[in-house]
Structure 1
Amino acid sequence: MVVLVIVLLVAAGAVGGVAVVYPESGLARRLGFVVIPGDMVGVVRRRIGGNPSDPRFKRVVPDNSRGIQARCLTPGVRHWLMPGVYSVDLAPRVSIPPGMIGLVTALDGAPRPAGRLLSRRVECDNFQNGVAFLLGEGEQGRQLATLPGDASYYINPELFRVDFAPRTHVPDGTVGLVRAKVGRLRPPDQPFGRYVECDVFQDGDAFLLGGGEQGRQLAVLGGGASYDIHPDLFEVLTTATVGPGRQDGLTPAHLRHVNIPVGYVGVVVTLHGIEPPPEDDVIGPVVHGHSNYRLPWKFLDGHGWRGVQQETLRQGGVYALNPWFARIVLIPTRLLTLEWKEKTPTEADNYDAELEQLVINIQGFQLKVNVTQTLQIPASAAPRLVSQFGGEVSRDGLGGLVIDPRPVQRFVERVLGGTVESYLTQVAASATVEDYLTQQDEIRAELAGRVRQNVAEWGITVSDTLVGLSVAQDTELDRIRRLPMTEAHRRRTLEEEVKSAQIHAQIRRIEIAVEREERGLAVAELEALANLLGPEVASVQALLAEVKDMRVPEVISGDAAMMGQFMPWQRIQDVIAGVRREQSGELEAGPRKDELEAGDATPDS
């Protein structure tokens, strides 16, 4: 009896009962034992048996009825199948390369409801358990779940087809924007779908079950990473996929991180939020918990206003922001030097580009006035400048980093420039040319006070206000301008002459005193000689000493008058007369009156 059963089994195997590829003994193959190679999967087909118990399964069955079986045979196990009842076909396992994901399409299963693009998720061991998929009411068509890359899967190719798609990569220093293709319809007044926690859009099932809505999403994908995102569920915009020709206007620049340079502050303009009050100069109050606008749904949950925000982005920071949600306007906080002068085309973007050369008319004279003003905008004052003086208007409603000098330019032109021009016009109407030219310090000080008072209302600080002057080609005005300098030079010259005369007078007084002392010594000598030898002998001796020192020319030519000038007897007479005066005591009375008057005289007398 046993031999008969064996013969029947062998005969059934010979007819083609079970296909065995892995080397086994001939007897084992005929007895129904199957071993699957390591890189293959076995697809089982039942030839003999009843019809499927569930009419939904017409081709692939989960209940071991006749037809293609949902289960498949995997390597590493010796399987036994009834010979003649089952057949096994081998198929390669699914290997997904690195950098790719697997997109699964179910070839059998429950019908998918109309209007749903992707079939719901069913727990089935990454589609390796076909029976669990079918019994779990898995639906036909493209599946919501994906297969991670760099892995292999033993999937029944009769039940599932797997296509490859690249992972979503977001370059470093940029963000990825997400637009949902499936989900609920968002309210018409909401530009963004509601935020749903879904593992940064890698869990499509969580997104849909959480009430995710179609359209633009508030969350962004961080740079320098790759994501397993289903391309049929989400469209991801990166610097590699945006560029010219897009209707939404997105460019790679919009997706770069917002970098606030040192010396600047980033004023945030939110493009979504609660409608602010209708008053002008409305600035949104501070909302906590949104991590510098990186979590915009937190900002919206905190009832943040749309428009200019009081909270700014600090210098030196790098921020991964959603350009659909926020626009960042750079305002300088460093020290600015503004000049009223003639500008060149290359200075069109300067903050003082609208400050032109100032020209005022005083008593018919045209004066060119150069004014230089230094100011600094604190970070707390920057939002009001943007709110009041606006900036670039984005036609496509996009945000991102905006380098726009117009808010500061308009403030400088309308507030600062208006103050300076108004004051100088007032001065020109009330002052004379001479007053204007000679009162520069007073004018500068008063102008600085006016400027400081007006800009203080904006919370802005000013320091140096300089007023220079360049005169038009007018010789009369040049003469008037030089007049104070000429008078000052003349005054300095006279002062130096007075000082010099005083020094000469002092020197003359010293010389007279020396002469006085010398004559006093001579008188003393004569008196001593007279006392010793007698007055007559002393006089004769003094006369002889004087004659001895006289210079008499050896040859004298000319008339008698010329000869008389050089002969010694006239000099002798003078000496004798002097001796007599000395003896009579005239020298004891001191220097002559004319000598004293000459010594005390000054140039002012």
Structure 2
Amino acid sequence: MLALGQLYFILGVGFVLFVFLVVALGIRVIPNNRVGIVEKRWSERGSVKQGLIALAGEAGFQPAVLRGGVHYLNPFQYRVHRVPLVTIPQGKIGYLFARDGEPLGPTQTLANNALADDYQDAAAFLKNGGQRGPQRKILREGTYAINLAQFVIITETQLHYLPLSGDELASFQQMAQTIAARQGFAPVVIKGADDLLGVVTVHDGPSLAQGQIIAPVMGDDPNQPSTYHNKFQDPERFLAGGGLRGRQLQVLVEGTYYINRLFATVEMIPKTVVEVGTVGVVVSYTGESGSDISGSAYKHGELVRKGERGVWNEPLLPGKYAFNLYAGKVILVPTTNFILKWNRAQSGSHKFDENLSEVSLITRDAFEPSLPLSVVVHIDYRKAPLVIQRFGDIKRLVEQTLDPMVAAYFKNIAQRRTIIELLQERAEIQNSAALEMKEKFERYNLELEEVLIGTPASGQDGHSIEQILAQLRSRQIAEEQVETYARQEKAAVKERELREAEARAKQQTRITESELGITVETNEGRAAYQRSLQQADQIRALAQAEADKIRVYAEAQAEKEARIGVAQAIATEEQVRAYGGPKFQLTQQVMKDFAKAIADAKVDVVPRVVVGGHGGSNGAGGNGGSPNLLEGLLTLMLSDRLAGGGLAASLGASRPQALELRKAIETGLKKDASNID
């Protein structure tokens, strides 16, 4: 048996070892990268009656955590769970799930964090009414010392939690997958180069009223900080400002947004781009019901002001717009001229006419061609809302209104013309169609710019049309040949003129000299002509002066001779009286003249040869003879007639007759002289 001292020694050593063991088991060393979650095994206050966290010292998980260092806890009463600190990487988001707290309301999706928003103080969270379940608030970048018995932290790479039961892991993993599917571990980043905008759908808060399909803009005024949620990044302020559950009218534009994807999801849609040459007519699905401002004359629908439900009276002008396409529709209407083609093989750039085909015609001469058409249309940007309100869109307008109207018009045109007239009168038909259809287009708030008619294509009787076209081509070729020949003729004339011009150019020096010579001679001729005119005038003046001189001289001479004649007459009369009277003077004068004529004619008074005849001695009755000049003269002078009436009476009473008698005597004397010769 052991001595009593040995027994005490053994008991003392055992007690020391027990105390040492107890002390050793109660010491907890917490590294700085971890926290200790305290679990109380028993307590004089009993166990937790409700929830998970013991706020009053009951047995259970304690709200406070042990930070880095050495801690002593009764190993028989407390258990410490060492867990790592929660770290949220840069540019990432962490989500919280509270295991304990007030239950969620029947309309809640996420826990309210209006007052309970300190996740590192579990006691304060629970005392301030913190709710269990997924939280509205998120964890941004940083490291957090969180009680993982109270909160489960879900990050992109792992789950931070203290396992309590085996079946909760699947629930947390499902939650992580939902967040990942919504790309919720990263912020919403919208780049300007992408021309995108974010449409937000809120999954918490009051529901939309009956009839509403999209939530109005709430809490977007920075001047009201209590409700300004800064683009859904603060869910509590969004709900405080009256935000509603559902798709939001407010959109996200370029920027970075840290949004709880369990609270709101974001869908990327393209911006509405209204290109130059178009306007956007807005058909709004939300807003207050406005009053019609289209006027009483417009009976095809209502137009409302901007922001009201319906077709806005003001279109969107060219530019980019962050327009929520879930809240309305923007119909692009071209304001530049666009072409509608009635042609199966072609369509305009806007594709409004992709279902149009050629117009089937029946002409007056029973041909059935198909006519391709092109119509140029313009829409006034101010009238674009009226067009959309009336027809819904441009394509519907084209197919349901313009197509039958244009087809009917040209069918009527074709029925009044033959196929040849349809081909040859294309320009006239185009002009008349443009004028007549303009008014019809204006009824639909459209402006018709031009109508273009193509070549009729073959229908069922295409072979006949081809024959007609061949005949027209032949006719045109003949006309072109005529024109060609005429032009060739004209070209030949021009060529000849060219050759003449070239020859003229070669002889230009000589031509110039000759032309200059002609010019000199012309000028000299003109000078000579002028000199001759001057000389003629001078001669005419001299002749006139000479004539005047002669006339004056003749008049003076005549007057002189008249006076001399008078004087001679008086003298003669006195001589006659002195020398025997008028008969004697006349005979004397005749004899003087006769003697002078014989002398001038050189006539022999007595013949040189005398040929005898059968007559008497004086020769009066000789054979073939004639009395000589002297004999005749003597006979005349001695006749009784001269004696009875005188020579003047026998020769006549006038002086001209006496002169004629004198010439006759002279002629007779010359004849006799020639006979004598």
Using structure 2 for the length normalisation, give the TM-score.
0.51
- For 1:114 and 1:380, how far apart are their aligned partners in 2? 51
1:180 aligns with 2:182: no
1:272 aligns with 2:289: no
- For 1:20 and 1:381, how far apart are their aligned partners in 2? 85
- For 1:438 and 1:49, how far apart are their aligned partners in 2? 112
Q: What amino acid sits opposite 1:216 in the alignment?
A: R
Alignment of 1:404-423 (within 5 A): 405-415=395-405, 417-418=406-407, 421-422=408-409
Alignment of 1:386-401 (within 5 A): 386-391=388-393
**SS, match of residue 282 in structure 1:** coil
Distance 1:11 1:276, change over 3 A: same
Equivalence for 1:282: 301
- For 1:480 and 1:82, how far apart are their aligned partners in 2? 118
- For 1:496 and 1:85, how far apart are their aligned partners in 2? 127
Q: Is the 8 A contact 2:87 2:144 kept in 1?
A: yes
Equivalence for 1:43: 37
Q: CA offsets per residue over residues 34-89 of structure 1, 9 Å max, x none?
A: xx53212233466897528x9766753345666543222334x8989899997765
1:153 aligns with 2:144: yes
**SS, match of residue 281 in structure 1:** coil
**SS, match of residue 216 in structure 1:** strand
Q: Is the 8 A contact 2:273 2:321 kept in 1?
A: yes
Alignment of 1:23-38 (within 5 A): 36-38=30-32
- For 1:9 and 1:60, how far apart are their aligned partners in 2? 36
Q: CA deviation at 1:461?
A: 3.2
Equivalence for 2:277: 263
Equivalence for 1:167: 186
Q: CA deviation at 1:414?
A: 4.2
- For 1:431 and 1:60, how far apart are their aligned partners in 2? 98
Equivalence for 1:445: 431
Q: What amino acid sits opposite 2:122 in the alignment?
A: G
Distance 1:58 1:312, change over 3 A: closer
**SS, match of residue 440 in structure 2:** helix
Equivalence for 2:339: 337
**SS, match of residue 16 in structure 1:** helix
- For 2:488 and 2:256, how far apart are their aligned partners in 1? 83
Residue of structure 1 aligned with 2:387, choices 385, 388, 392: 385
Distance 1:491 1:90, change over 3 A: closer
Q: What amino acid sits opposite 1:204 in the alignment?
A: P
Distance 1:41 1:406, change over 3 A: same
Residue of structure 2 aligned with 1:312, choices 297, 310, 315: 315
- For 1:169 and 1:146, how far apart are their aligned partners in 2? 14
Distance 1:101 1:222, change over 3 A: same
- For 1:12 and 1:449, how far apart are their aligned partners in 2? 115
**SS, match of residue 219 in structure 1:** strand
Distance 1:186 1:13, change over 3 A: farther
Q: CA offsets per residue over residues 355-402 of structure 1, 9 Å max, x none?
A: 5145341355666655443232233333333333335xxxxxxxxxxx
1:465 aligns with 2:469: no
Q: CA deviation at 1:154?
A: 0.8
**SS, match of residue 251 in structure 2:** coil
Give structure 2 stretches of 5+ with no counterpart: 1-14, 156-175, 177-184, 220-228, 293-297, 493-677
Q: CA offsets per residue over residues 425-481 of structure 1, 9 Å max, x none?
A: 554555678876776554433222112222234443333334455596366798799
Q: CA deviation at 1:17?
A: 7.8
1:139 aligns with 2:158: no
Residue of structure 2 aligned with 1:229, choices 233, 253, 260: 260
Residue of structure 2 aligned with 1:455, choices 441, 444, 467: 441
Q: CA deviation at 1:407?
A: 4.0
Alignment length, in residue pairs?
427
Q: CA offsets per residue over residues 167-222 of structure 1, 9 Å max, x none?
A: 35466533444433332233232223454433333323234444443333323344
- For 1:228 and 1:434, how far apart are their aligned partners in 2? 74
Equivalence for 1:398: none
Q: Is the 8 A contact 1:119 1:140 kept in 2?
A: yes
Equivalence for 1:73: 66
Q: What amino acid sits opposite 1:281 in the alignment?
A: H
- For 1:489 and 1:227, how far apart are their aligned partners in 2? 83
Equivalence for 2:89: 97
Q: What amino acid sits opposite 1:102 in the alignment?
A: G
Equivalence for 2:267: 238
Give structure 1 stretches of 5+ with no counterpart: 1-7, 23-35, 240-254, 288-298, 392-403, 501-605
Alignment of 1:515-554 (within 5 A): none
Q: Is the 8 A contact 2:434 2:451 kept in 1?
A: yes
Equivalence for 1:376: 378
Q: What amino acid sits opposite 1:320 in the alignment?
A: A
Distance 1:152 1:364, change over 3 A: same
Distance 1:91 1:123, change over 3 A: farther
Equivalence for 1:191: 213
Q: CA offsets per residue over residues 222-275 of structure 1, 9 Å max, x none?
A: 4664533142x33x2536xxxxxxxxxxxxxxx333333443333322233455
Distance 1:158 1:122, change over 3 A: farther
Distance 1:469 1:178, change over 3 A: closer
- For 2:33 and 2:106, how far apart are their aligned partners in 1? 38
Q: Is the 8 A contact 2:41 2:59 kept in 1?
A: yes
- For 1:368 and 1:60, how far apart are their aligned partners in 2? 87
1:16 aligns with 2:45: no
Equivalence for 2:353: 351
